[in-house]
């Protein structure tokens, strides 16, 4: 298949899958579920009436009901795709309407707090299998999704101790059907790994773009004009959904502060090298960091094209 | 023309242009000079014999001589494309061989120190017009160049006080011929603007990739695996040429430390917001930073495609 997702499944993994929250991830899930036949019926719901209307306009799902209760009713998969700070409230509200034996999963970027929230709010007769697809773009909303978002990316499942093995296996097949590689780990370990691969990078991108936007007006105009020197890459990350990221930093506070502490220590050492004119120290670090990128490209998590392939080489 | 560079000039701007240093920028200049007919003859020289051999193999220039003296002899444009820390030495070595009336320019990312180095080393009978094309990729070496690198990007010229107006106008035409927009400013102002748009972003990218590479082995493998969450964007920047960047930080020490100080203050404030759970403060900052990216895209300095257009939307 030209999109690299392969043929649709002969038998769907779920009869009725409900996507709660139709942003980038929720809408991408809707696309790939239908493209690959992962669920016989796809239900999409969003707390925003505007988003629901838009989801209907673009035909994102088989049904876009008007209430959360209707959305989850009869679903054998409920996929929470809302900001992590909203999970507890949604879980409590939908709890009485869940079908016994249903799997409740999510796509939140923080896992320990979500696992606790869901475990507390949901009845014992559903299977909670939290997850996190490590994939995204800086865009958000129901129009941002596309079926190949998860292709060749990792999804991390963080089932609680004593989780139903069949439910975990089903979620694994589901994500593999969406094109992802699946790995299972403890929630706290996930949160620490993601703090350094995702949360702190976002934090410092937000921070430097903020520093630049605090410059006086004339300097700010120049920053925008001459951004091709490196700055514009940071602005992509710093254009990500503000509410989603606010919630991530609040929910993963401890791991983020731990990794931020290491980052700051290292930055202080680097600052000292510059102040003292330690060229050898700088060059050693800058040489070492090249190897990491090589590893990422070799693992297929990145394009080797210069400048991310932003522009084709035309000569 | 399909590459967007337009037709070649009817009359070249220079008779004989010498490129000293054949890395990404030098080789891109060679390509665009020939593509656009900016110089009747293009001479390329590099201090490394391997690079000279490679430049000959790929037919990068009309002549690739064996010495710096031969390279600059008779040239009416000498373009220094070496790391900024090497400029003083190169200038002193080539000074006796320069043709009277020649223009000596450069492409260094720091301008005040280069202007001083060149002014000191070069004879009064040449015109010094330092410049900086704000363009690049993370790749380096004679094979990395391409003719469209400068298209629609800015080149900043920083002529010294009392510079020959005709020489400045000629360099402006030269860069416009290469597809760039040209702006003139004072060297110190250039260095301050680039500190925030380029140098500090590179520094913090090198730093976070360094922090990650210091993790224990198992965690480092995971960082590479789950890099799609944001980290891999930083690794692109942190894969840039180590010697070039070492020299930039040493040559632009004051402006880099000034901007790094602002960045660190802001990061400390952000850290405090996370520790105290100030969701409103976080959301306000994260919303503000989106506007900067909008400005960059509107000015044509960036693609609006999600994820830099790394992958096409296939559904």
**pLDDT (0 to 100) of residue A109:** 96
Nearest residue in A to B192, CA atom: A219
Choice among A50-64, A280-294, B58-72, B227-241 with the minimum mean pLDDT = B227-241
Query: For chains A and B, what is the number of CB pairs under 8 angstroms?
Result: 371
Cβ–Cβ gap A264/B267 under 8 Å:
yes
Nearest residue in B to A271, CA atom: B257
CA distances from A295 to A149, A305, B236 (A): 21, 15, 12
Query: pLDDT tens, position by position, for chain B (315 residues)?
Result: 578 999 999 999 999 999 999 999 999 999 999 999 999 999 999 999 999 999 999 999 999 999 999 999 999 999 999 999 999 999 999 999 999 999 999 999 999 999 999 999 999 999 999 999 999 888 999 999 999 999 999 999 999 999 999 999 999 999 999 999 999 999 999 999 999 999 999 999 999 999 998 888 778 888 888 888 788 888 988 998 999 999 999 999 999 999 999 999 999 999 999 999 999 999 999 999 988 888 888 888 787 877 776 654 433
DSSP codes of every residue in B134-178: E---S--STTS--TTTTTT-EEEE-PPTT--HHHHHHHHHHHHHT
**pLDDT (0 to 100) of residue B315:** 35
Question: Which runs of E-coded beta strand occur in chain A?
Answer: 14-20, 39-45, 77-80, 103-106, 127-128, 131-134, 154-157, 181-184
Confidence category of residue A311, pLDDT binned at 50, 70, 90: low
CA-based radius of gyration for chain A: 21
Rounded (10°) CA dihedral A80, A86, A89, A92: 20
Give domain limits for chain B: 14-185, 189-277
**Closest-CA distance of chain B to residue A265, Å:** 9
Contacts of B150 in chain A (CB under 8 A): none
Residue B165 tokens read as: 């107006």
Q: Please state the separation of Cα A93 from the chain's center in Å.
A: 24
Please tell me the total number of residues recorded for chain A in this structure: 315
**pLDDT (0 to 100) of residue A221:** 86
Residue B33 tokens read as: 């000079």
Per DSSP, A76 falls in state S
DSSP codes of every residue in B253-303: HHHHHHHHHHHHHHHHHHHHHHHHT-HHHHHHHHHHHHHHHHHHHHTTSS-
Q: Which fold has domain A14-184?
A: Rossmann fold (3.40.50)
**Closest-CA distance of chain A to residue B253, Å:** 6
**Closest-CA distance of chain A to residue B99, Å:** 32
Examine the pLDDT at A236 and tell me if it is beyond 90: no
- Quote the Cα angle for A221-A223-A224, to 5°: 65
B90 versus A225: the higher-pLDDT residue is B90
CB atoms within 10 A of CB A298: 11
Pick the CATH number of B189-277 from 1.10.3720.10, 1.10.3660.10, 3.40.30.10, 3.20.20.70: 1.10.3660.10
Place of tokens 């008007």: A66
Which among B30, B84, B204 is the top mutation candidate for probing chain A, defined by the most A β-carbons within 10 Å of its own β-carbon?
B204
Share of chain B residues as helix, strand and coil, in percent rounded to the nearest 5: 55, 10, 35
Per DSSP, A9 falls in state P
* CB-CB contact of B222 with B146 (8 Å): no
Domain B14-185: CATH superfamily, name plus number: NAD(P)-binding Rossmann-like Domain (3.40.50.720)
Contacts of A4 in chain B (CB under 8 A): 314
Element of type H or E holding B184: strand B181-184
Which among B2, B196, B258 is the top mutation candidate for probing chain A, defined by the most A β-carbons within 10 Å of its own β-carbon?
B196
Contacts of B197 in chain A (CB under 8 A): 212, 222-223, 226-227, 229-231
3-state secondary structure of B202: helix
**pLDDT (0 to 100) of residue B155:** 97
Place of tokens 């790394």: B310
**pLDDT (0 to 100) of residue A1:** 52
* CB-CB contact of B35 with B1 (8 Å): no
Contacts of B155 in chain A (CB under 8 A): none
Residue A158 tokens read as: 């963080």
**Closest-CA distance of chain A to residue B222, Å:** 7
CB atoms within 10 A of CB A91: 25
User: Per-residue pLDDT tens for A116-141?
Assistant: 999 999 999 999 999 999 998 889 99
Confidence category of residue A17, pLDDT binned at 50, 70, 90: very high
* CB-CB contact of B60 with B142 (8 Å): yes
CA distances from A88 to A66, A159, B236, B280 (A): 20, 17, 37, 19
Contacts of B148 in chain A (CB under 8 A): 311, 313-315
CA–CA separation, A223 and B292 (whole Å): 9
């Amino acid at each position: 298949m030209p999109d690299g997702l392969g043929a649709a499944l002969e038998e769907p993994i779920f009869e009725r899958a409900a996507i709660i929250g139709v942003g980038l991830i929720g809408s991408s899930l809707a696309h790939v579920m239908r493209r690959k036949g992962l669920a016989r019926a796809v239900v999409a719901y969003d707390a925003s009436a505007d988003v629901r209307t838009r989801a209907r306009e673009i035909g994102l799902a088989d049904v876009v009901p008007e209430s959360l209760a209707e959305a989850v009713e009869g679903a054998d998969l409920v996929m929470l795709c809302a900001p992590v700070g909203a999970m507890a409230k949604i879980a409590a509200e939908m709890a009485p309407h869940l079908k016994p034996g249903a799997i409740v999963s999510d796509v939140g970027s923080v896992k320990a707090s979500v696992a606790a929230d869901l475990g507390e709010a949901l009845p014992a007769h559903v299977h909670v299998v939290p997850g996190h697809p490590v994939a995204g773009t800086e865009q958000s909303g129901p129009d941002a999704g596309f079926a190949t978002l998860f292709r060749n990316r990792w999804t991390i499942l963080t089932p609680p101790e004593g989780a139903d093995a069949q439910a975990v296996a089903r979620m694994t097949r589901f994500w593999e059907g969406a094109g992802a590689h699946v790995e299972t780990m403890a929630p706290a370990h996930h949160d620490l790994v993601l703090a350094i691969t995702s949360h702190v990078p976002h934090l410092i991108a937000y921070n430097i773009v903020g520093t630049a936007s605090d410059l006086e007006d004339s300097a700010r105009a120049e920053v925008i004009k001459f951004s091709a020197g490196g700055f514009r890459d940071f602005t992509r990350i710093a254009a990500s959904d503000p509410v989603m990221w606010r919630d991530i930093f609040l929910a993963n506070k401890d791991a983020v502060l731990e990794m931020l502490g290491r980052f700051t220590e290292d930055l202080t050492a680097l600052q000292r090298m510059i102040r003292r004119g330690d060229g050898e120290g700088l060059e050693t670090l800058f040489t070492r960091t090249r190897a990491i990128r090589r590893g990422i490209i070799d693992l297929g998590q990145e394009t080797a094209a210069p400048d991310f392939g932003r522009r084709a080489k035309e000569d």
